[in-house]
Amino acid sequence: MRIGIVVFPGTNCDYDTFWALKLVGLDPVFLWHKDTNLINVSAVILPGGFSYGDYLRAGAIARFSPLIDKIFDFAEKGGLVLGICNGFQILLEMGLLPGAMLPNNTNTFICKQVYLKVENNDTPFLRKYSIGEILKMPIAHKEGRYYVSDSELVKLENKKQVVLRYVGPNGEIDSKFNPNGSVNNIAGVVNEKRNVMGLMPHPERAVEKLLGSDSGIRLFLSFLN
């Protein structure tokens, strides 16, 4: 399975994602943002980092990269597109996912292990997890406070597009386990068609017990048929 990892100037989780995909037996390739061809990849990952230095707004400039049009078409046709951290921010800027990202309510960068609850596994990315399962992954961001308007939030929840939520170690949904002030403790969402997913936590940093957690393995394994 060939999976494309998009590299923008300032992307810094490209190698980590490459490593994680290799580890689970996939065939990752880097796609340069100035390329105009997706070279027949089966899925596209927009990894984390600071594309274009996050100047203006996280992800705001990256969406004008030449490859982005191709990714847009690819997603429209049902192709799998996963955005992690800065990649999630880019998907929001592209309009492939609803909502926007605000600076953390702590107003600081936060790097730590968090617990997540799988709210819905009805998406190709989470099909190997069960509903209600608790995952452990690191977050590392300064602009990760997910926001949608109240009316959109109702729609999002009703259509079960909220797939991951920040929780306590035992699945408690409480503001004290919300690291950045995201609405409804939202950590990850999918589009209506379920083929585009964005999440703030880093599954590629959670594929080995040695580094604290291997909760992210099955997300990448889901790319295998």
Partner 1 sequence: MGIYGLKDEEINHVRRLLEREPNDVEWSVISVIWSEHCSYKHSRKYLKNFLTKAKWVEQGPGENAGVIELGNGYKLVFKVESHNHPSAVEPFQGSATGVGGIVRDILALGARPIALLDSLRFGPQDNLKNRYLFNGVVSGISFYGNCIGVPVVGGEIIFEDCYSSNPLVNVMCVGIVPPGGKIYKGRAEGKGNLILLVGARTGRDGIHGASFASEKLEEDIHSQRPSVQVGDPFMGKLLIEACLEAGSLEGVIGIQDLGAAGLVSALSESASRGGSGVVVYLDKVPQREENMTSEEILISESQERMILIVEPEKIDRIKNVFKKWDLEAEVIGEVIDEEKFIAYFKGEKVVDLPIKLLTKDSLEFDPPFKIRERIPMPILSKNEEKIEGFIKKLIEDIKIKEYIYQQYDYSVQTNTVLPPGRGDSAVLRIKDTKMAIALTIDGNGRYCFLDPKMGAMNAVSEACRNILCVGGRPLAITDGLNFGDPDEPEVFYQFREVVSGINISSRVLEIPVVSGNVSFYNGQGDNRIFPTPIIGMVGILENIDYLITPDFKEEENLIYLLGDLDWLSIEGSEYIKYSYNIIAGNPPYVNLLWEKRLKSFMEDIRKEKIILSAHDISDGGLLNSLLEMSFWGEKGIDITLPEVEDYERLLFGEGSGLIIVEISEKNKEYFVKKVEEYKLKAFLLGKVVRGNFKIKPYIDYPLKKIIERGD
The residues annotated with a catalytic role in the active site are 85, 202, 204
- Asked if residue 203 binds partner 1 (CB under 8 A), the reply is no
142 makes contact with partner 1 (CB under 8 A): yes
Residues forming beta bridges with residue 134, ordered by sequence position:
117
Contact between 13 and partner 1 per CB under 8 A: yes
Which of 1, 29, 140, 217: binder of partner 1 (CB under 8 A)? 140
Q: Which is nearer to partner 1, 10 or 171 (CB)?
A: 10
15 binds partner 1 (CB under 8 A): yes
Among the residue ranges 65-73, 138-146, 159-167, 180-188, the one whose residues contact partner 1 (CB under 8 A): 138-146
Q: Site for partner 1 (CB under 8 A): which residue of 25, 27, 55, 224?
A: 55
Which of the stretches 105-113, 125-133, 150-158, 181-189 binds partner 1 when contact is defined by CB under 8 A?
105-113
Name the amino acid, one letter, at 151: S
Angle at 25 between CA 20 and CA 31, to 5 degrees: 60
Q: Does 209 bind partner 1 (CB under 8 A)?
A: no
E strand residue ranges, the chain? 2-7, 27-32, 43-46, 80-84, 100-102, 110-118, 134-141, 145-147, 162-167, 186-190, 196-199
Query: Which positions from 66 through 85 interact with partner 1, judged by CB under 8 A?
Result: none
Residue type, 139: I
Instruction: Give every CB contact of residue 86 below 8 A, 6+ residues apart in sequence.
Output: 11, 13, 46, 47, 48, 49, 50, 51, 54, 58, 59, 62, 141
Residue 143 within binding range of partner 1, rule CB under 8 A? no
Q: How far apart are CA 170 and CA 73, in angstroms?
A: 40
Query: Per rule CB under 8 A, is residue 64 in the interface with partner 1?
Result: no
